[in-house]
Structure 1
Amino acid sequence: MNALKTLVLLALSATALSAQSAPDDFLAALRAHCGKAYEGRIIDPQPADTAFARQRLVMHVRGCGDTLRVPFHVGDDRSRTWVLTRTASGLRLKHDHRHRDGSEDRVTQYGGDARPGGTAMRMEFPADSFTAALLPASRTNVWTVEITPTQFVYQLTRAGSDRRFRVEFDVTRPVPAPPAPWGFEGR
Protein backbone atom coordinates (compact mmCIF):
# COMPACT_ATOMS: atom_id res chain seq x y z
CA MET A 1 0.00 0.00 0.00
CA ASN A 2 2.84 2.43 0.77
CA ALA A 3 4.38 1.81 -2.65
CA LEU A 4 1.05 2.62 -4.31
CA LYS A 5 0.71 5.85 -2.29
CA THR A 6 4.26 6.80 -3.24
CA LEU A 7 3.55 6.21 -6.93
CA VAL A 8 0.36 8.27 -6.75
CA LEU A 9 2.18 11.12 -4.97
CA LEU A 10 5.00 11.03 -7.54
CA ALA A 11 2.49 11.13 -10.39
CA LEU A 12 0.64 14.06 -8.82
CA SER A 13 3.91 15.91 -8.21
CA ALA A 14 4.99 15.38 -11.82
CA THR A 15 1.62 16.66 -13.03
CA ALA A 16 1.88 19.74 -10.80
CA LEU A 17 5.44 20.47 -12.00
CA SER A 18 4.36 20.05 -15.61
CA ALA A 19 1.47 22.48 -15.07
CA GLN A 20 3.83 25.02 -13.49
CA SER A 21 6.35 24.79 -16.32
CA ALA A 22 3.80 24.84 -19.16
CA PRO A 23 3.60 28.68 -19.33
CA ASP A 24 7.41 28.96 -19.34
CA ASP A 25 7.73 26.22 -21.95
CA PHE A 26 5.04 27.88 -24.08
CA LEU A 27 6.82 31.26 -23.92
CA ALA A 28 10.16 29.59 -24.70
CA ALA A 29 8.64 28.00 -27.81
CA LEU A 30 7.36 31.40 -28.92
CA ARG A 31 10.66 33.15 -28.03
CA ALA A 32 12.41 30.76 -30.43
CA HIS A 33 10.75 32.87 -33.15
CA CYS A 34 11.83 36.24 -31.72
CA GLY A 35 12.45 38.78 -34.46
CA LYS A 36 10.83 36.63 -37.13
CA ALA A 37 7.65 37.29 -39.06
CA TYR A 38 5.28 34.86 -40.74
CA GLU A 39 2.40 35.11 -43.17
CA GLY A 40 -0.92 33.53 -42.31
CA ARG A 41 -4.37 32.84 -43.59
CA ILE A 42 -7.85 32.75 -42.13
CA ILE A 43 -9.34 29.30 -41.88
CA ASP A 44 -13.05 29.09 -42.70
CA PRO A 45 -13.70 32.86 -42.73
CA GLN A 46 -17.07 34.13 -41.57
CA PRO A 47 -18.91 37.08 -43.16
CA ALA A 48 -17.58 39.35 -40.38
CA ASP A 49 -14.03 38.44 -41.44
CA THR A 50 -14.35 39.24 -45.15
CA ALA A 51 -12.10 42.31 -44.94
CA PHE A 52 -9.40 40.26 -43.16
CA ALA A 53 -9.61 37.41 -45.65
CA ARG A 54 -8.77 39.77 -48.54
CA GLN A 55 -5.67 41.23 -46.83
CA ARG A 56 -2.14 39.98 -46.30
CA LEU A 57 -1.90 38.74 -42.70
CA VAL A 58 1.50 38.88 -40.97
CA MET A 59 2.52 38.22 -37.39
CA HIS A 60 5.87 39.40 -36.02
CA VAL A 61 7.31 38.09 -32.74
CA ARG A 62 9.02 40.99 -30.95
CA GLY A 63 9.51 42.25 -27.41
CA CYS A 64 10.75 38.87 -26.23
CA GLY A 65 11.36 39.39 -22.49
CA ASP A 66 8.91 38.44 -19.74
CA THR A 67 6.29 40.00 -21.99
CA LEU A 68 6.11 38.95 -25.63
CA ARG A 69 4.52 41.32 -28.08
CA VAL A 70 3.22 39.79 -31.31
CA PRO A 71 1.96 42.44 -33.71
CA PHE A 72 -0.71 41.17 -36.09
CA HIS A 73 -0.72 43.18 -39.32
CA VAL A 74 -3.77 43.11 -41.55
CA GLY A 75 -2.64 44.62 -44.84
CA ASP A 76 -1.30 48.09 -43.99
CA ASP A 77 -3.21 48.16 -40.68
CA ARG A 78 -0.67 47.93 -37.84
CA SER A 79 -3.16 48.55 -35.01
CA ARG A 80 -3.23 45.09 -33.39
CA THR A 81 -0.74 43.43 -31.04
CA TRP A 82 -1.18 40.25 -29.03
CA VAL A 83 0.58 40.64 -25.68
CA LEU A 84 1.53 37.49 -23.75
CA THR A 85 2.79 38.03 -20.21
CA ARG A 86 4.05 35.56 -17.61
CA THR A 87 2.19 36.08 -14.34
CA ALA A 88 2.74 34.53 -10.91
CA SER A 89 0.00 32.00 -11.62
CA GLY A 90 0.46 31.37 -15.33
CA LEU A 91 0.09 33.29 -18.56
CA ARG A 92 -2.03 36.27 -19.65
CA LEU A 93 -3.14 37.29 -23.15
CA LYS A 94 -4.17 40.88 -23.85
CA HIS A 95 -5.03 42.65 -27.10
CA ASP A 96 -3.35 46.04 -27.53
CA HIS A 97 -5.20 48.13 -30.12
CA ARG A 98 -3.75 51.47 -31.26
CA HIS A 99 -4.64 54.27 -33.63
CA ARG A 100 -2.29 55.36 -36.39
CA ASP A 101 -0.96 58.14 -34.11
CA GLY A 102 -0.02 55.54 -31.46
CA SER A 103 -2.78 56.41 -28.99
CA GLU A 104 -4.79 53.56 -27.49
CA ASP A 105 -8.09 52.65 -29.07
CA ARG A 106 -11.18 52.81 -26.85
CA VAL A 107 -11.41 49.02 -27.21
CA THR A 108 -8.05 47.73 -26.02
CA GLN A 109 -6.37 45.60 -23.34
CA TYR A 110 -9.07 42.93 -23.42
CA GLY A 111 -8.24 39.25 -22.97
CA GLY A 112 -7.72 36.96 -19.99
CA ASP A 113 -5.57 34.53 -18.05
CA ALA A 114 -4.81 31.02 -19.29
CA ARG A 115 -6.96 28.20 -18.03
CA PRO A 116 -5.28 25.52 -15.94
CA GLY A 117 -4.21 22.56 -18.04
CA GLY A 118 -2.41 24.47 -20.78
CA THR A 119 0.60 22.87 -22.40
CA ALA A 120 3.86 23.95 -23.93
CA MET A 121 2.04 23.99 -27.29
CA ARG A 122 -1.47 25.25 -26.47
CA MET A 123 -3.03 27.75 -24.09
CA GLU A 124 -6.69 28.81 -23.75
CA PHE A 125 -7.58 32.25 -22.42
CA PRO A 126 -11.19 32.86 -21.34
CA ALA A 127 -12.35 36.47 -21.20
CA ASP A 128 -11.66 38.19 -17.88
CA SER A 129 -13.95 40.56 -15.98
CA PHE A 130 -12.32 43.63 -17.59
CA THR A 131 -13.19 42.23 -21.01
CA ALA A 132 -16.77 41.44 -19.96
CA ALA A 133 -17.24 45.04 -18.75
CA LEU A 134 -15.59 46.55 -21.84
CA LEU A 135 -17.25 44.26 -24.40
CA PRO A 136 -20.32 42.54 -22.89
CA ALA A 137 -20.90 40.43 -26.01
CA SER A 138 -17.37 39.04 -25.58
CA ARG A 139 -17.82 37.84 -22.00
CA THR A 140 -17.84 34.19 -23.19
CA ASN A 141 -14.89 34.57 -25.55
CA VAL A 142 -12.08 32.06 -25.38
CA TRP A 143 -8.86 32.80 -27.24
CA THR A 144 -6.62 29.86 -28.03
CA VAL A 145 -2.98 30.27 -28.99
CA GLU A 146 -0.97 27.32 -30.30
CA ILE A 147 2.68 27.03 -31.27
CA THR A 148 3.93 23.88 -33.01
CA PRO A 149 7.05 23.17 -35.06
CA THR A 150 5.12 24.12 -38.22
CA GLN A 151 2.54 26.73 -37.25
CA PHE A 152 1.36 29.46 -34.91
CA VAL A 153 -2.41 29.56 -34.46
CA TYR A 154 -4.59 32.30 -33.01
CA GLN A 155 -8.23 31.38 -32.55
CA LEU A 156 -11.31 33.00 -31.06
CA THR A 157 -14.50 31.18 -30.15
CA ARG A 158 -17.53 32.56 -28.35
CA ALA A 159 -19.68 30.22 -26.25
CA GLY A 160 -23.36 30.36 -27.02
CA SER A 161 -22.83 31.69 -30.54
CA ASP A 162 -21.36 30.61 -33.82
CA ARG A 163 -18.69 33.36 -33.68
CA ARG A 164 -15.27 31.99 -34.45
CA PHE A 165 -12.06 33.29 -35.97
CA ARG A 166 -8.96 31.24 -36.73
CA VAL A 167 -5.77 32.31 -38.42
CA GLU A 168 -2.85 29.96 -39.02
CA PHE A 169 0.71 31.13 -39.68
CA ASP A 170 3.33 28.91 -41.35
CA VAL A 171 6.40 29.21 -39.08
CA THR A 172 8.54 27.17 -41.47
CA ARG A 173 8.61 30.08 -43.95
CA PRO A 174 9.72 33.42 -42.45
CA VAL A 175 8.87 36.59 -44.35
CA PRO A 176 10.54 40.01 -44.10
CA ALA A 177 9.66 41.72 -40.81
CA PRO A 178 6.99 44.40 -41.21
CA PRO A 179 7.27 47.89 -39.70
CA ALA A 180 6.67 48.25 -35.97
CA PRO A 181 3.04 48.37 -34.83
CA TRP A 182 1.49 51.79 -34.40
CA GLY A 183 2.72 53.43 -31.21
CA PHE A 184 5.93 51.40 -31.10
CA GLU A 185 7.93 52.92 -33.93
CA GLY A 186 11.53 53.41 -32.79
CA ARG A 187 11.18 50.85 -29.99
Structure 2
Amino acid sequence: MKKLYSKSPFLTVILSIILGVLIVTTGVSAATTISTNINTAGTLTVSGASSLAAVTTSGTLTVGSSGTALTQVIKGSCSSWNGTGLNSMDGSQTASTTEAYDCAVTGVVSGDVVIAQLASSTPITTTAGSAYWNIIGAQASTTSGYITVLLYNNGPTAVPSALGVGSSTSYIIIR
Protein backbone atom coordinates (compact mmCIF):
# COMPACT_ATOMS: atom_id res chain seq x y z
CA MET A 1 0.00 0.00 0.00
CA LYS A 2 2.86 2.32 0.83
CA LYS A 3 4.30 1.77 -2.62
CA LEU A 4 0.98 2.53 -4.31
CA TYR A 5 0.46 5.60 -2.18
CA SER A 6 3.90 7.06 -2.72
CA LYS A 7 4.13 6.30 -6.45
CA SER A 8 0.76 7.74 -7.45
CA PRO A 9 0.26 11.37 -6.43
CA PHE A 10 -2.79 11.46 -8.68
CA LEU A 11 -4.50 8.74 -6.63
CA THR A 12 -3.62 10.58 -3.43
CA VAL A 13 -5.28 13.76 -4.69
CA ILE A 14 -8.42 11.89 -5.82
CA LEU A 15 -8.77 10.08 -2.47
CA SER A 16 -8.26 13.36 -0.59
CA ILE A 17 -10.97 15.10 -2.64
CA ILE A 18 -13.46 12.24 -2.15
CA LEU A 19 -12.78 12.12 1.58
CA GLY A 20 -13.12 15.93 1.85
CA VAL A 21 -16.45 15.95 -0.04
CA LEU A 22 -17.84 13.20 2.22
CA ILE A 23 -16.87 15.07 5.39
CA VAL A 24 -18.34 18.39 4.16
CA THR A 25 -21.56 16.73 2.90
CA THR A 26 -22.08 14.95 6.21
CA GLY A 27 -21.55 18.17 8.17
CA VAL A 28 -23.89 20.26 5.98
CA SER A 29 -26.61 17.60 6.00
CA ALA A 30 -26.49 17.29 9.78
CA ALA A 31 -26.65 21.06 10.24
CA THR A 32 -29.65 21.69 7.97
CA THR A 33 -32.12 18.81 8.27
CA ILE A 34 -33.40 16.77 11.15
CA SER A 35 -35.81 14.12 9.99
CA THR A 36 -36.98 13.02 13.43
CA ASN A 37 -38.88 14.63 16.29
CA ILE A 38 -37.03 16.62 18.92
CA ASN A 39 -38.05 16.02 22.52
CA THR A 40 -36.65 17.99 25.39
CA ALA A 41 -37.37 18.21 29.08
CA GLY A 42 -35.61 21.56 29.30
CA THR A 43 -35.50 24.72 27.24
CA LEU A 44 -35.18 24.53 23.47
CA THR A 45 -32.99 27.36 22.19
CA VAL A 46 -32.73 28.33 18.54
CA SER A 47 -30.13 30.82 17.39
CA GLY A 48 -30.72 32.54 14.08
CA ALA A 49 -33.88 32.39 11.99
CA SER A 50 -36.33 29.53 12.45
CA SER A 51 -39.73 28.62 11.04
CA LEU A 52 -42.43 26.14 11.89
CA ALA A 53 -44.79 24.58 9.35
CA ALA A 54 -48.22 23.07 9.96
CA VAL A 55 -48.34 24.31 13.53
CA THR A 56 -51.55 23.69 15.43
CA THR A 57 -52.27 24.61 18.99
CA SER A 58 -54.95 23.57 21.39
CA GLY A 59 -55.45 23.82 25.09
CA THR A 60 -55.65 26.92 27.20
CA LEU A 61 -54.17 30.38 27.46
CA THR A 62 -52.98 31.60 30.84
CA VAL A 63 -51.52 35.05 31.40
CA GLY A 64 -49.15 35.29 34.36
CA SER A 65 -48.20 32.62 36.83
CA SER A 66 -51.48 32.78 38.76
CA GLY A 67 -53.88 33.69 35.92
CA THR A 68 -57.06 31.80 35.13
CA ALA A 69 -56.82 29.54 32.08
CA LEU A 70 -58.95 30.62 29.10
CA THR A 71 -60.27 27.87 26.86
CA GLN A 72 -62.26 29.88 24.30
CA VAL A 73 -62.69 33.45 23.05
CA ILE A 74 -65.59 34.38 20.73
CA LYS A 75 -65.97 37.82 19.14
CA GLY A 76 -68.60 39.25 16.86
CA SER A 77 -71.56 41.57 16.66
CA CYS A 78 -75.27 41.09 17.32
CA SER A 79 -77.59 41.37 14.39
CA SER A 80 -80.14 38.75 15.40
CA TRP A 81 -82.14 39.67 18.51
CA ASN A 82 -84.58 37.23 20.09
CA GLY A 83 -87.89 38.01 21.75
CA THR A 84 -91.24 39.70 21.32
CA GLY A 85 -92.75 42.82 22.81
CA LEU A 86 -90.37 44.44 25.28
CA ASN A 87 -87.84 41.65 24.72
CA SER A 88 -87.61 42.53 21.04
CA MET A 89 -85.78 45.37 19.39
CA ASP A 90 -89.09 46.13 17.67
CA GLY A 91 -90.77 46.85 21.01
CA SER A 92 -91.10 50.11 22.89
CA GLN A 93 -88.90 50.79 25.90
CA THR A 94 -90.05 53.16 28.64
CA ALA A 95 -87.83 56.07 29.65
CA SER A 96 -85.38 55.41 32.48
CA THR A 97 -85.84 51.64 32.32
CA THR A 98 -83.59 48.70 31.67
CA GLU A 99 -84.71 45.82 29.45
CA ALA A 100 -83.04 42.51 28.70
CA TYR A 101 -82.47 41.62 25.04
CA ASP A 102 -81.18 38.26 23.82
CA CYS A 103 -78.72 38.00 20.93
CA ALA A 104 -78.01 34.72 19.12
CA VAL A 105 -74.31 33.74 19.35
CA THR A 106 -73.01 30.38 18.17
CA GLY A 107 -70.91 28.57 20.78
CA VAL A 108 -71.79 30.58 23.90
CA VAL A 109 -72.94 28.66 26.98
CA SER A 110 -74.19 29.66 30.40
CA GLY A 111 -71.32 30.79 32.62
CA ASP A 112 -69.24 32.39 29.86
CA VAL A 113 -68.05 35.95 30.53
CA VAL A 114 -69.61 38.48 28.13
CA ILE A 115 -68.37 42.00 27.37
CA ALA A 116 -70.63 44.08 25.08
CA GLN A 117 -70.48 47.53 23.50
CA LEU A 118 -73.10 49.42 21.47
CA ALA A 119 -72.29 50.41 17.92
CA SER A 120 -70.84 53.86 17.33
CA SER A 121 -74.02 54.73 15.40
CA THR A 122 -76.20 54.23 18.52
CA PRO A 123 -77.76 57.52 19.71
CA ILE A 124 -75.96 58.81 22.81
CA THR A 125 -77.04 62.46 22.69
CA THR A 126 -77.71 63.90 26.14
CA THR A 127 -79.59 66.98 24.93
CA ALA A 128 -83.00 67.43 26.57
CA GLY A 129 -85.66 65.55 24.64
CA SER A 130 -83.21 63.14 22.99
CA ALA A 131 -83.03 59.44 23.62
CA TYR A 132 -79.78 57.77 24.41
CA TRP A 133 -78.81 54.26 25.39
CA ASN A 134 -76.38 52.48 27.69
CA ILE A 135 -75.50 48.84 28.13
CA ILE A 136 -75.84 48.23 31.85
CA GLY A 137 -74.58 44.66 31.72
CA ALA A 138 -74.21 41.57 29.58
CA GLN A 139 -74.07 37.87 30.37
CA ALA A 140 -74.38 34.46 28.79
CA SER A 141 -78.04 33.50 28.75
CA THR A 142 -79.23 30.40 30.57
CA THR A 143 -80.32 29.29 27.08
CA SER A 144 -77.25 28.01 25.20
CA GLY A 145 -76.53 29.97 22.05
CA TYR A 146 -77.64 33.38 23.38
CA ILE A 147 -76.22 36.30 25.30
CA THR A 148 -78.43 38.68 27.28
CA VAL A 149 -77.67 42.39 27.01
CA LEU A 150 -79.25 44.78 29.53
CA LEU A 151 -80.09 47.97 27.63
CA TYR A 152 -80.94 51.17 29.52
CA ASN A 153 -83.10 53.87 27.89
CA ASN A 154 -81.65 56.97 29.48
CA GLY A 155 -83.90 59.25 27.48
CA PRO A 156 -86.69 61.44 28.86
CA THR A 157 -89.52 59.53 27.13
CA ALA A 158 -90.49 56.08 25.96
CA VAL A 159 -89.01 55.13 22.65
CA PRO A 160 -91.64 53.75 20.28
CA SER A 161 -89.16 51.35 18.70
CA ALA A 162 -85.72 50.30 19.77
CA LEU A 163 -85.15 48.83 16.30
CA GLY A 164 -81.58 49.45 15.17
CA VAL A 165 -80.30 50.43 18.61
CA GLY A 166 -78.74 47.06 19.26
CA SER A 167 -77.73 46.17 15.72
CA SER A 168 -73.98 45.85 15.38
CA THR A 169 -73.56 45.62 19.15
CA SER A 170 -70.06 44.17 19.52
CA TYR A 171 -69.26 41.42 21.99
CA ILE A 172 -66.33 39.42 23.28
CA ILE A 173 -67.07 36.17 25.09
CA ILE A 174 -64.48 34.45 27.25
CA ARG A 175 -64.60 30.93 28.66
TM over 0.5: no
TM-score (norm 1): 0.23
Name the structure, 1 or 2, with higher relative contact order (CA <8 Å, separation 6+): 2
Higher helix content, 1 or 2? 1
TM-score (norm 2): 0.24
Higher strand content, 1 or 2? 1
Largest Rg, 1 or 2:
2
